[in-house]
């Protein structure tokens, strides 16, 4: 009976290896790399003989852009400057951070996290209302509403986002996920015993 259990485990491991190899072949175009290889490897695609090979990266699991905004570091509440065109993702994330103004410390909660997901039009306006995708469990309704309003106000300060023509076309419709983290009251206790 014990021998049968060992064969079942070995058979299961073989099935998992076969599935992972199939996924790797789909992602890497048939080239599989292993940590057990004696040399470093990077999957490549060589289109024709004599042409240089190009690295092939796995397709992304998600197409959304993600940014974290920490209330202790980013808490300015500035409006976006319509004269300054947003031309890169780094500029977009900096503008979103600058627009954030956290609720008063009296309304803050230790280790609060709230995530929203939304998308822009090419004109810099939001497509619909942002959707809350995560909230710290056990959060009171009043605190949830306070932070939700702060997020809504921050996005109103940021819109319409002054995208350049190229950035507007590239960003239009792409999901953006922002994770707001508020650890201000805990950090205050750590710095002021």
Taking the C-alpha atoms of residue 64 and residue 122, their distance in angstroms, rounded to an integer, is 16
Give me the pLDDT at residue 62, please. 54
What are the sequence ranges of the domains in the chain? 2-55, 65-191
Distance between the two ends of the chain, CA-based, in angstroms? 61
Question: Rounded to an integer, what distance in angstroms lies between the CA atom of residue 65 and that of residue 181?
Answer: 17
> What is the structure's pLDDT at 26?
42
The pLDDT value given to residue 112: 87
Which CATH number does the domain 65-191 belong to among 3.30.1490, 3.30.1150, 1.10.10, 2.60.40?
Answer: 3.30.1150
Contact between 174 and 61 (Cβ < 8 Å): no
pLDDT value at residue 73 = 78
So what's the pLDDT on residue 51? 58
What is the DSSP code (8-state) at residue 122? T
Cα(109)–Cα(184) distance, integer angstroms:
8
Stated pTM of the model: 0.63
> pLDDT truncated to tens, each residue of the chain (193 aa)?
566 566 666 666 665 555 455 444 444 444 455 555 555 555 555 555 555 555 555 544 456 688 888 887 776 778 888 889 999 999 999 999 999 988 887 777 777 899 999 999 999 999 989 999 999 898 888 889 999 999 999 999 999 999 999 999 989 999 999 999 988 765 554 544 4
118 vs 173: CA distance, rounded Å:
9
Query: Is residue 102 helix, strand or coil?
Result: coil
Give me the pLDDT at residue 152, please: 94
């Amino acid at each position: 009976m014990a021998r049968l259990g060992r064969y079942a485990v070995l058979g299961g491991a073989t099935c998992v290896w076969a599935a992972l190899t199939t996924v790797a072949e789909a992602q890497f175009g048939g080239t599989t790399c292993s940590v057990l290889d004696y040399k470093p490897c990077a999957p490549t695609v060589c289109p024709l003989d004599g042409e240089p090979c190009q690295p092939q990266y796995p397709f992304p699991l998600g197409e959304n852009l993600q940014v974290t905004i920490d209330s202790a570091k980013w808490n300015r509440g500035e409006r976006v400057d319509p004269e300054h065109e947003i031309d890169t993702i780094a500029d977009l994330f900096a503008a979103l951070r600058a627009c954030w103004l956290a609720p008063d410390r009296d309304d803050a909660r230790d280790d609060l996290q709230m995530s929203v997901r939304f998308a822009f039009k090419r004109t810099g306006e939001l497509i619909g209302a942002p959707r809350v995708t995560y909230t710290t469990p056990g959060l009171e309704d009043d605190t949830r509403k306070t932070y939700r309003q702060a997020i809504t106000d921050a996005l109103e300060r940021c819109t319409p986002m002054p995208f350049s023509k190229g950035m507007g076309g590239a960003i239009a419709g792409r999901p953006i996920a922002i994770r707001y983290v508020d650890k201000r009251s805990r950090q205050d206790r750590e710095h002021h015993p």
